[in-house]
């Protein structure tokens, strides 16, 4: 009698085990093998782009990195070559469509193909809304929206001929939930998310997958290269400190590992961090509460000051405020990730 009672349970467990086994086999069969692939990484000479390039190279990917600075490209190429990567580095302003077309064509001419495009190049403007002009919005849209569109359009003929391709768009938590004092950045990242998700829906039928990556602040050392407006020293200090704070910022290597895993498993919307998951949950579950919290945070951020409409680079706004113990960690990260700190 007892045996008869256990029989349905055993059959159910066996069926569940079989289902799990089949799924594991199918996942392994569909796994995207990175070894021998060719990837273009825009903004690949420093910061997150360089970290992504390191991880792609470690997985056997042949690289093309591009940026606007020849010196930073040379430094990044030396580092990647020293770790055994096959890499070429070309100067390219990705906001110039003609330069992007040449970049993709040269990649195929050099390697014979292109498999992956990582749209990583970016800019960050920090300051109150009233200090931002159309120029800041145009700059942000050019590099966060138009540049990824240019690389996508230039790569699609090759992807379609190969019957496969991967496009990785580096957006941000700020592209899903706008935060104060970063309006041009957030608005342009929202545009990138819309572009990325729309492309994903239309290109999947051609075996071209589009990945939307939304990390938060990262400990890359990038604050020194942001644009600051308003009370320059205070704005730079809060951003630099936040970008080095372990509780609310991410290790770039962790983000790069997530991207590698997403590519290999064909996961087009990977979860990058707990902060991202919390922000998405609050946006859906309690948007008014989230608005209230962010408006309160806005009250705590620096107010404008005389000449606040002028732009400064982060390193030009260094002061005693940005030399605190936590923020100094960003200088260490800058050295590690070729952000121009010496």
Catalytic residues: 185
Count CA within 13 A, CB hemisphere, residue 247: 3
Q: How long, in residues, is the chain?
A: 342
| CB environment 283-294: b (16+ within 10 A), e (fewer) | eeeeeeebeeee
Pure H helices in the chain: 2-29, 47-58, 70-82, 97-111, 134-141, 147-162, 183-203, 232-242, 252-265, 274-285, 287-300, 328-336
> 190 CB contacts (<8 Å, ≥6 apart)?
175, 176, 178
* CA nearest neighbour of 50 among 276, 256, 283: 256
The CA distance from 291 to 297, in Å, is 10
Query: Rg (Cα) of the chain, in Å, rounded?
Result: 22
Secondary structure (3-state) at 85: coil
How far does Cα 243 stand from its chain's mean position? Answer: 15
* CA nearest neighbour of 60 among 281, 273, 202, 264: 264
The CA distance from 103 to 38, in Å, is 13
Q: Are the C-beta atoms of residues 41 and 49 closer than 8 Å to each other?
A: yes
Q: Which two tokens stand for residue 269?
A: 């919307």
């Amino acid at each position: 009698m007892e045996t008869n009672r256990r029989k349905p349970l055993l059959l159910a467990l066996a069926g569940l085990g079989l289902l799990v086994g089949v799924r594991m086999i199918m996942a392994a069969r569909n796994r995207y093998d990175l070894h021998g692939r060719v990837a273009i990484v825009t903004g690949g000479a420093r910061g997150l782009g360089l970290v992504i390039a390191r991880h792609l190279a470690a997985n056997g990917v042949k690289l093309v990195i591009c940026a606007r600075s020849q010196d930073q490209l040379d430094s990044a190429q030396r580092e990647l070559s020293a770790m055994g990567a096959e890499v070429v580095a070309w100067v390219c302003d990705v906001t110039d469509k003609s330069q992007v077309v040449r970049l993709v064509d040269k990649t195929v001419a050099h390697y014979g193909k292109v498999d992956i495009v990582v749209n990583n190049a970016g800019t960050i403007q920090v300051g109150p809304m009233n200090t931002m002009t159309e120029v800041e919005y145009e700059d942000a849209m050019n590099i966060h929206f138009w540049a990824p569109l240019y690389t996508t359009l230039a790569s699609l003929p090759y992807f379609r001929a190969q019957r496969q391709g991967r496009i990785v768009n580096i957006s941000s938590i700020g592209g899903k939930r706008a935060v104060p004092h970063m309006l041009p950045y957030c608005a342009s990242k929202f545009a990138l998310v819309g572009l990325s998700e729309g492309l994903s829906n239309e290109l999947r039928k051609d075996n071209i997958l589009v990945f939307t990556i939304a990390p938060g602040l990262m400990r890359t050392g990038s604050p020194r290269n942001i644009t600051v407006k308003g009370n320059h020293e205070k704005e730079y200090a809060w951003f630099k400190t936040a970008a080095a704070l372990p509780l609310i910022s991410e290790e770039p290597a962790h983000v790069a590992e997530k991207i590698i895993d997403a590519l290999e498993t064909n996961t087009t919307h990977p979860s990058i961090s707990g902060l991202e998951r919390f922000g998405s949950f609050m946006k859906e579950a309690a948007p008014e509460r989230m608005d209230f919290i962010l408006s309160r945070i806005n009250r705590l951020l620096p107010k404008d000051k005389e000449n606040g409409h002028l732009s400064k680079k982060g390193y030009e706004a260094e002061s005693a405020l940005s030399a605190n113990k936590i923020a100094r960690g960003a200088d260490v990260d800058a050295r590690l990730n070729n952000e121009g700190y010496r």
